[in-house]
Amino acid sequence: MREAVEFLRDEPFNPDQLQTNQALNTTTDDELLDAYSRAVITAAERVSPSVVYIELQQPISSRRTSDRREARGSGSGFIFTPDGFILTNSHVVHGAAKIEVTISDGSKYHADLIGDDPDTDLAVIRINAPNLVPAQLGESQNVRVGQLVLAIGNPYGFQYSVTAGVVSALGRSLRARSGRLMDAVIQTDAALNPGNSGGPLVNSRGEVIGVNTAMILPAQGICFATSIDTAKFVASRLIRDGKVSRSYIGLAGQNVPVPRRIVRYYNLAVESGILVISFEENSPGRKAGLREGDLIVGFDGRPTAGIDDLHKLLTEERIGHKTLLLVIRGTQKLELEVVPEEKNPSEK
């Protein structure tokens, strides 16, 4: 203890040096804060001119034909082409009787619905306006967990609100309102509220990396965005065709385990399958010879452990092409030829 005291006495107290060290620490903290602030400010200023406020009117069904009522709603979106195409969520504009868009300078325009895809919760609308500023689209494959992101939108009608956070996880799956599973969903803790739907999720360079789509209530900080790579593909199809074509085989089923003895006997790649419960009238599945009680365990040589696996394989390319279904019927393993047909938007 004596040596320690003597050592301290050998170093005289210098108040000027203490002030210098405090100033250096303060400067370092300020620089870090400013770097973060500059990133948020720059990204927000770059993207905000592209963000739009969407207002819509939806008819309310009534038993009285003379009673015409309309519900009003709102959401967000962003311009992604100079000629007025806007990306938003399907659930924001689906079934709307009238859509109006307010751009960053306060001007309001009528919007036309180009197409929507409930299976990915994406939609494209269009306005006819001059001097539009399209957002720059990034690439989802370059997104990293932990990176800074911004969500820009109109929560509860408060226009052009900015929230910041990080990418919490990648590759999440989220159930769309249509019942299909959306893959490659980005999870973030950038705060979302009702009205943020359809707005952009932006990286620090001001590039759109996702379309904000959902939050989990009552959880805090668990929000989701459809990846921009998915949005690019869907938007191109909606602009070209007004819809995203997918195939279907027209049956209702549920995921069930396959008996272990059958899995071992046939050396199946899955331990669960799709139990066929019912069919639509004149469906491709019925025409192929499927029966209620059959277990679907494979499609086109690929294992299907559940309905989501089958949905992923029922793509546009399958429409009109013979495909083999691997089926367990009782204790028999069968291969049936099915010709998937195009799925209508109203069909599940």
Residues recognised as catalytic: 91, 121, 197
Q: Which residue has the tokens 């005289």?
A: 12
DSSP bridge pairs for 166: 148
- Distance, in Å, from the CA atom of 196 to the CA atom of 160, rounded to the nearest integer, reads 10
Gyration radius of the chain's alpha carbons: 27
Contact 246, 315 (CB under 8 A): yes
Spell out the residues 6+ positions from residue 52 whose beta carbon is closer than 8 angstroms to its own. Answer: 76, 77, 78, 79, 86, 101, 102, 103, 104
Query: In the structure, how many helices (H) and strands (E) does the chain have?
Result: 7, 22
Number of residues in the chain: 348
**Alpha helix (H) residue ranges in the chain:** 2-10, 15-47, 90-93, 228-241, 260-266, 284-287, 307-313
DSSP bridge pairs for 276: 253
Omega within 30 of 0 (cis) for the link into 155 = no
DSSP per-residue string spanning 234-285: HHHHHHHHSS---EE--EEEEEEEPPHHHHHHHT-S-SEEEEEEEE-TT-HH
- Distance, in Å, from the CA atom of 345 to the CA atom of 92, rounded to the nearest integer, reads 17
- Distance, in Å, from the CA atom of 106 to the CA atom of 191, rounded to the nearest integer, reads 24
